[in-house]
Structure 1
Amino acid sequence: MELIHRAVTTVSTSNADDAAFRALADASAIIEALPDARIVGGQMVALLLAAFPASEAIQRRTADADAAITAEIAATGEVHEALTAAGYRAERGNSYFNGRQEIDLLVPAPTGKFGQEELGGRMFDAAPGIHLALAVRPIVLEVSVLLLDGSTLDFTTRVPTPETATVIKAYATTSRAEAKDLVDLHNLLTIADTYPVEEIGGWALTPGPLTGARLDAARIMTALAQQIRFDPTARGAAYRFRGSPRSSGSASRRTERERTRSVCATSAALRQYRRRVEHEVAQTLPATRATPKRAPASASGSSAPAAPRRSW
């Protein structure tokens, strides 16, 4: 499959946005000469959404830039040296700051669990799913950002495909229960449902069969679809996601309402994903073990038509 190139134009709406985009530009410039490096995290999803707009997507902002590199690159120390030469100071091992600008470096986890790896005398956060994102050809984006002062910030960056980004974000929900990860999953699944497979760099997150990180991601998202709960009778339309406490106060209630919309939309996408997976799994099983249930007959005695297939 040919390398995919897209042009992205976006606008900064706050000083925090300015700092995040400047950090993103710096991180992108530093990894530009490294083929085994990608922009990941919240910026990854935001850039993919800008490159592949979808009407049902939910916009969200992030304050930092995350760059994924191989363990071999991390061990050389060249990215550390490039960041310090660009004015960033190292804090907390793999986190770098330059004023309000923050860049975090991530490496692939040797197992399917989050952890830390010591490479080249420095500690790095290790995340599962990154190895797959680095193995698949990236999407190259030509980004143009209109900053608050009216100037334009132009840079080139590389991000994982929506499929491998989904794998990364699915894993992220196993280490924390935050609405932002559900929003990101919703947006990525919406992209996958809106665009042809070949236009987004492929999509193999369907039984066929799945192995490794893709199988883990499918299992995680199937479980998520069962875990998400919505209580329409609760005041302020409070959401419930296992492990997430309720908040109090008017400002917190507003935030909770925003999260409710995010979680509800994500729940719908994940539940649809689960139904799709279950349907395809049933189709691959022997007829003696997976006899599909008949749709309820209508008044005329005919069965209801099957639901249309989604693009993913």
Structure 2
Amino acid sequence: MDNETDPSHIRVHALSVADDLGYRGQLAVSQTVSGRSDYRLIGGHMVRLLLHVYPSERAVPRSTVDADTALGDVEVIGVVTRQLQEDGFIKVGGNVLKKTVAPDQDVEINFLLPRDDYKTGIKSINVQSVGQVDTLSELSFALNSPAVVIDVEARLLGGEIIEYQTRVPSVEVAAILKAHSWSSRHSTKDLADLNTLLEIREEHPELSWRLDSRPLIGRRLDTARILRPLGKQITRRRSPIELPNNVSRVRFAALIQEHIGAP
């Protein structure tokens, strides 16, 4: 794909219940939000879709259920929420909606909004007729950067095929989001996703990537300040940082060293 704004086409198969529910969530977001607001799928779905678009032999895919979605317009979240409720979703929070499709199987969609300040971490705001909605400052950067547009054909566990178009950040912007996420909550899932994104970068050097440029500024500088110390910490003999079993500490650290510039 020469231009990250040109649609890519992928065919995927649900290999687990989590996959099945995840693809259903992506479909619901596409049907409800497309044409109303710019958006990006973020979180685990973002990384999994990017791995389908840019295959990497050494990356290990991770499944997730909830379809975290960054909306570009606060005015549309009420309309989108009402539409999803009409389609059978139940609001369990200002930005969280669930739909039961089988016993103990819920499709979950989490909406998040950008904010203009530069503070890190989640901050909730009150949206009229919706309630408390979580915001992240780094989502402004993601929504102002070109999207990777993907046409998805997904075969679900029961054999049903669903088709939709969705939008995710670029591999570089995804790495920035995941670095900030790990810095806020120190989840091993974020480290698994960061490892996958760096493996994609390693195998696809043609992709736009400025996290190794000098001088680093803004969000890229913040990302380097998060990841370069992480690369040093994970190789220490008694490192307190837990990594997924399928992630090599030495290789992960080497990828950080190679693709993330010094702050």
**TM-score (norm: length of structure 2):** 0.87
2:183 matches 1:174: yes
Local SS of the residue matching 2:94: coil
* Cα distance change on mapping 1:106 and 1:241 into 2, 3 Å: farther
Which residue identity is paired with 2:256? Y
2:18 matches 1:9: no
Within the candidate set 124, 128, 143, 2:152 is matched to 143
Which residue identity is paired with 1:95? V
- Equivalent position of 1:81 in the other structure: 82
Local SS of the residue matching 1:158: strand
Q: Which 5+ residue runs of structure 2 have no aligned equivalent?
A: 101-105
Local SS of the residue matching 1:4: coil
Of 164-173 and 24-33, the range deviating more from structure 2 = 24-33
Q: Which 5+ residue runs of structure 1 have no aligned equivalent?
A: 232-238, 245-255, 282-312
Q: Which has the higher contact order (CA 8 A, sep 6+)?
A: 2
CA distance in 2, matches of 1:222, 1:204: 15
2:119 matches 1:112: yes
Within the candidate set 246, 252, 263, 1:261 is matched to 246
Local SS of the residue matching 2:120: coil
**TM-score (norm: length of structure 1):** 0.74
* Cα distance change on mapping 1:208 and 1:131 into 2, 3 Å: same
Q: Tell me how large the CA RMSD over aligned residues is.
A: 2.3
1:39-70 per-residue CA deviation (whole Å, 9 max, x = no partner) reads: 11100000000111001101110011011013
Which residue identity is paired with 2:166? T
2:67 matches 1:65: yes
- Equivalent position of 1:214 in the other structure: 220
CA distance in 2, matches of 1:273, 1:88: 40
Which residue identity is paired with 1:89? I
* Cα distance change on mapping 1:70 and 1:241 into 2, 3 Å: farther
* Cα distance change on mapping 1:138 and 1:35 into 2, 3 Å: farther
Local SS of the residue matching 2:7: strand
2:101 matches 1:95: no
Which residue identity is paired with 2:93? R
CA distance in 2, matches of 1:230, 1:33: 49
CA distance in 2, matches of 1:35, 1:274: 37
Name segments (4+ residues, structure 1) moved above 6 Å. Answer: none
CA contact (8 A) 2:151 2:163 kept: yes
Which residue identity is paired with 1:274? Q
